[in-house]
Amino acid sequence: MSTDPEIQVPYDVLLELGMRSLGLVGVANPDARATMDVLLCADLRGVPTHGIQRLLTYVPRLRSGLINPLPDVRIESLAPALKIIDGDNGLGPVVATKGMAEAIEMAKSSGIGFAGCRKSNHFGACAPYVLMACRQKMIGIAGANSPPTMAPWGGLTKLIGNNPLGIGVPCEGDTPFVIDIAMSNSSRARIFNMAAKKEKIPGDWALDSEGKPTTDASEAIKGFVLPMGRHKGYGLAVAIDILSGVLTEGAFSLGLKSLAENWHEPQDIGHFFIAIDATRFMSWDVFSKRMKDLFGGLRSSRRIDPGSPIRIPGERGTQTEMDRRHNGIPIPPRFLETLKGLAEGNYDYDIPKF
Amino acid sequence: MSTDPEIQVPYDVLLELGMRSLGLVGVANPDARATMDVLLCADLRGVPTHGIQRLLTYVPRLRSGLINPLPDVRIESLAPALKIIDGDNGLGPVVATKGMAEAIEMAKSSGIGFAGCRKSNHFGACAPYVLMACRQKMIGIAGANSPPTMAPWGGLTKLIGNNPLGIGVPCEGDTPFVIDIAMSNSSRARIFNMAAKKEKIPGDWALDSEGKPTTDASEAIKGFVLPMGRHKGYGLAVAIDILSGVLTEGAFSLGLKSLAENWHEPQDIGHFFIAIDATRFMSWDVFSKRMKDLFGGLRSSRRIDPGSPIRIPGERGTQTEMDRRHNGIPIPPRFLETLKGLAEGNYDYDIPKF
């Protein structure tokens, strides 16, 4: 991304540019809308790496047939509270939005619902999906597998992705609680950026190709990233691969292909979504009151830095979203030009490497 | 625990001692059996900290009325796939075993089931519960909240437990996949033990009372333990507190009381259990084949230490269990004497500090 000073672009302008860009490469209007809702949710909440900039990769993949612009997404009911969704290689946000919507519908009747998705693609951040559940007064859980960047604990071969997990819990009158975490301490993208600037990386981010700890970003690139919490994050990453890939009859481990590095095969990503209806346990008011009691306790903690308030997970994103809905989303001017070009069929730009 | 050489005690001997110990303080036979099944599962799998040694604390809590030996455990159905269980301050393993059993029953009809438990106590390890689901060809998820040992991220006040999470996935003809992880990098118990030996602790285990990193175990005790994966483990710990406490109308955060340090109040622990029927997605054979494909890939990884095979999470526990079922469970002789005393009503021993 450019280092030019950013300009504030209204949400609706970015929505329109994204819708046109996706429409131009054959994506149906409702699917373009679902995709932009997911991507712009990340931009609104301050996570541009999972925002509209992903179009720069999604569009060329759509153009080259690696993502199906008009998928026949099939939803199959396996049990009253279980569904499986075959994404037909559609856009990740399209397949995943249907996944969480189905989980929510099942939770309305059964109290909880689980939807697994296979044959999908990169779905952006987890937060947009768990927030779909929160808007229905439900707890949402979302996960996805991803192409391998980590080795098994004790190993040297990249076999497991840094598979993200999101959990969202609604609360009337306060921020929803949201976590949206990858299972590695850092991403390869971040390490690439630091290597370009010749910066040292923290010692627990990666091992080199021989499995030795390294703070040298270029050695780390030849090696692999480390799971958060050591073997614990590794175990969670495998569990997410099982729920997203093994259980869905989708791809897993080496079966998953890179979004930005593999230009001859579909990604074959899997997701899973769980919704739990909080209002079956107690009234919505009582549930929100209990969440606020929890939040109040956490916020009253003595602080390491008295000047930094304790934030509830997800609170910063909620505040950023409120601000950006009013004041626009900060976008580097050159990227805005690229987006405008994309909306007019100009594909002459460097595709991001991640 | 003693440092005497350990002796191999047959499973049935420990089961009998435990059943008699619990019966003597008023626990009904089926509940004593459920408790011993859970505790001895941990001993079999090589996790003695969550095994039969917990009786040394459970029994005095039962005797002093802090745990109810004859609870009226009430199970309420909230939706086809949701149940809430009021443990009536019964033994944690008794309440939790009913919780997972209900989740499994719901998963048989709905495909997935969620059971929340409130007014319970320390439930031992997570692995015994997720393995209950695995024996039914189901994926099991188990979590519990626990008394605060961690501060909110950026804070100095202990407000969140290192709330454990377990995930188990069955596989015919190979080990079940099992993770059973607390949300801190290390436990306070381990730090106490190292302080007693004047050993230094790793730098990411704890902060001192002012929130500064420390490798001094005694300073760490005055401070608080750190979440695994920094803010990520903290966020997961809060999510587990929400699912175990807020959602169940049970206690959470400071409402939870210590097993070993609070001798005037019940613990008021909450749990949650999820079971997902893998056989609704595909045949059991196909599912197991896919799990074995995943395992085979992981095991084929190049190794950091060529002499150390890559182990599937849970595999070491499975192997240890097979060995110990045949050859007995290693127990320090002095602890065995204490257990024999416990089974005869001799309560003259030092109650463990954790």
Residue B4 has pLDDT above 80, yes or no: no
Name the one residue in this structure whose structure tokens are 């009021």: B86
pLDDT score of B188: 84
Pairing of strands A112-120, A82-86: parallel
pLDDT band for position B3 (cuts 50, 70, 90): low
Cα dist. A315→A286, B191, B277 in Å?
21, 33, 35
- Whole-number Å distance between alpha carbons of B230 and A303: 16
**pLDDT one-digit tens code per residue, B160-205:** 999 999 999 999 999 999 999 999 999 888 898 899 999 999 999 9
Give B-chain residues touching A154 at CB under 8 angstroms: 301, 303-305, 308, 310-311
Among chain B residues, CA nearest to A240: B167
Top residue of A207, A302, A305, A312 to mutate, by most chain B CBs within 10 Å, is A302
Give A-chain residues touching B116 at CB under 8 angstroms: 281
- Whole-number Å distance between alpha carbons of B337 and B353: 19
Q: Long-range pairs for A21-24 at CB < 8 Å and ≥24 separation?
A: A21/A55, A21/A59, A21/A339, A21/A342, A21/A343, A22/A55, A22/A58, A22/A59, A22/A62, A22/A69, A22/A91, A24/A343, A24/A344, A24/A345
**pLDDT one-digit tens code per residue, B106-164:** 999 999 999 999 999 999 999 999 999 999 999 999 999 999 999 999 999 999 999 99
- Whole-number Å distance between alpha carbons of A241 and A227: 14
Phi, psi of A20 (to 5 degrees): -65, -40
The residue-averaged pLDDT of A208-231 equals 94
Give A-chain residues touching B282 at CB under 8 angstroms: 249
Residue A177 has pLDDT above 60, yes or no: yes
DSSP string, B172-210: TTSPPEEEEE-SBSS-HHHHHHHHHTTPBPPTTSEE-TT
Among chain B residues, CA nearest to A179: B235
- Do the chains contact at B78 and A281, CB–CB below 8 Å? yes
Identity of the residue in B80, B154, B247 whose CB atom sits nearest the CB atom of A110: B80
SS3 A273: strand
Count other Cβ atoms within 10 Å, centred on residue B195.
Answer: 16
Among chain B residues, CA nearest to A239: B167
Identity of the residue in A169, A235, A305 whose CB atom sits nearest the CB atom of B179: A235
How close are the terminal C-alpha atoms of chain A, in Å?
11
Q: Kindly report the average pLDDT of chain B as a whole number.
A: 96
Name the one residue in this structure whose structure tokens are 């480390």: A226
Give A-chain residues touching B241 at CB under 8 angstroms: 294
Question: Minimal CA–CA distance to A121: which of A219, A4, A244?
Answer: A244
Phi, psi of B153 (to 5 degrees): -60, 120
- Do the chains contact at A281 and B247, CB–CB below 8 Å? yes
**pLDDT one-digit tens code per residue, A136-149:** 999 999 999 999 99
- Whole-number Å distance between alpha carbons of B40 and A125: 41
pLDDT score of A3: 57
Q: How far is A333 from chain B (nearest CA, A)?
A: 33
H or E segment at B117? Answer: strand B112-120
Q: Is the ipTM of this complex over 0.95?
A: yes
Give A-chain residues touching B247 at CB under 8 angstroms: 139, 276, 278, 281, 287
H or E segment at A108? Answer: helix A92-110
- Do the chains contact at A181 and B243, CB–CB below 8 Å? no
**pLDDT one-digit tens code per residue, A297-347:** 999 999 999 999 999 999 999 999 999 999 999 999 999 999 999 999 999
pLDDT band for position A4 (cuts 50, 70, 90): low
- Do the chains contact at A112 and B112, CB–CB below 8 Å? yes
Residue B2 has pLDDT above 70, yes or no: no
SS3 A269: strand
Residue A99 has pLDDT above 60, yes or no: yes
- Whole-number Å distance between alpha carbons of B5 and B7: 7
Name the one residue in this structure whose structure tokens are 């969202």: A168
CA angle, residues B133, B138, B141, in degrees to nearest 5: 60
Which amino acid is it at A281?
F
The residue-averaged pLDDT of B21-27 equals 98
CA angle, residues B162, B157, B248, in degrees to nearest 5: 50
Identity of the residue in B110, B160, B167 whose CB atom sits nearest the CB atom of A110: B110
Question: Minimal CA–CA distance to B41: which of B62, B18, B24?
Answer: B18
